[in-house]
Amino acid sequence: MELNERAELDTSQANDVGRGSGGGGGGGMGIPIPGGGGKGGIIGIVVAVIIALLGGGFGLNAMNNGDEGGQAGGDDLDQVCSTANPDRLQDARCRNLLFVNSIQAYWKKAYPELGKGNYEPTTTNFFQQAVNTGCGQADSGVGPFYCPADQKVYIDLGFYDELATRFGAKGEFAQPYVLAHEYGHHVQDLLGTNAKAGQGDQSGPKSASVRLELQADCYAGSWAKHASESKDKSGQEPLFKSITEADVSQAVDAAEAIGDDSIQERSGGQVNPDQFTHGTSEQRKRWFSRGYEGGDPKTCDTFGTDQL
Ligand SMILES: [Zn+2]
């Protein structure tokens, strides 16, 4: 993957909200557990509890440091990621902003074909350690997530280190996959799929939660198919200079690494399908690939099939 250093980034699509200091005096960890499409619950890419089992989560210690809530400011991405800064694409936030721009440029085109009006862009908030959201307080231990209540994506970019070290998904193209998965939840929110799924089963191999997550993986695949076509803010420059098959296979590897069965095994437990919320490694890989091969979100109908 090569990013286009001439691309003009749309900085309105992400914020650096800085470091949250946790708790509001509650004392507990205050982690809202991702619960499928449940009302008010966050929708993550992995299971929070499991991350904690795998080694205490990351950034969790920060929760004990201060008992004042609130957020200590991050940088202004307008400046950091502007073309005036020649080193901007070395900054993980600007690289991820570029991914977000590409994902939303894709949906701006693809969404109307789903027959439910136009795509509404949303922002990604980069945070460190803890963050206040419309879904409540969250910390990095939950992994990246989408909050339906405020319709925003949240990510502590330190998650990518976890993905590489703990889950073994080292490739950089894992990063836009993770974001495209979360934006898949935003698309589901706009379509009303989240709300519908929230009324179904929240765990189990054929649960509404698993269908929602596999569909988000498939949506990520359909973005990946078209990613190299996406243009920058000016509409003149492509955001990516190149994306290779090897890049795409890094996304597939990442999807595979975070299957429920793999995570359960890695955390030392037995594989228990009743507790599946995101789908198995094989399923996540396959649905991402289906989206990629078809390049069409209409092929991502995980709710209308028994062949999950
Ligand atoms: Zn998800």
62 pLDDT above the threshold of 70:
no
Determine whether 148 is exposed, middle or buried from the number of CB atoms within 10 Å of its CB (0-12, 13-18, 19+): buried
CA 244 – ligand 1 centroid, Å: 25
CA 5 – ligand 1 centroid, Å: 30
| Alpha helices in 74-168, H assignment, sequence order | 77-80, 92-110, 159-165
pLDDT for 51 = 55
CA 180 – ligand 1 centroid, Å: 10
pLDDT for 42 = 83
pLDDT for 64 = 36
CA 87 – ligand 1 centroid, Å: 32
CA 136 – ligand 1 centroid, Å: 17
pLDDT tens-digit series, residues 71-126: 788 889 999 999 999 999 999 999 999 999 999 999 999 999 999 999 999 999 99
CA 277 – ligand 1 centroid, Å: 9
pLDDT tens-digit series, residues 155-179: 999 999 999 998 899 999 999 999 9
pLDDT for 20 = 86
Which of 44, 9, 306, 36 has the alpha carbon at shortest distance from 196?
36
Residues 2-23, mean pLDDT to the nearest whole number: 91
The first and second tokens of residue 68, run together, are: 């004042």
74 Cβ partners below 8 Å, 6+ apart? 15, 16, 17, 18, 19, 126, 127, 128
Residues 212-231, mean pLDDT to the nearest whole number: 98
Angle in degrees, CA 255, 3, 97, rounded to 5:
70
CA 46 – ligand 1 centroid, Å: 7
Of the two residues 4 and 267, the one the predictor is more confident about is 4
Burial call 86-105: b when 16+ CB within 10 Å, e when fewer:
eebbebebbbbbbbbbbbbb
CA 194 – ligand 1 centroid, Å: 11
pLDDT for 163 = 92
pLDDT for 49 = 53
40 pLDDT above the threshold of 90:
no
Which residues have C-beta under 5 Å from ligand 1, the single-atom ion? Answer: 43, 45, 213, 216
Of the two residues 37 and 283, the one the predictor is more confident about is 283
pLDDT for 61 = 34
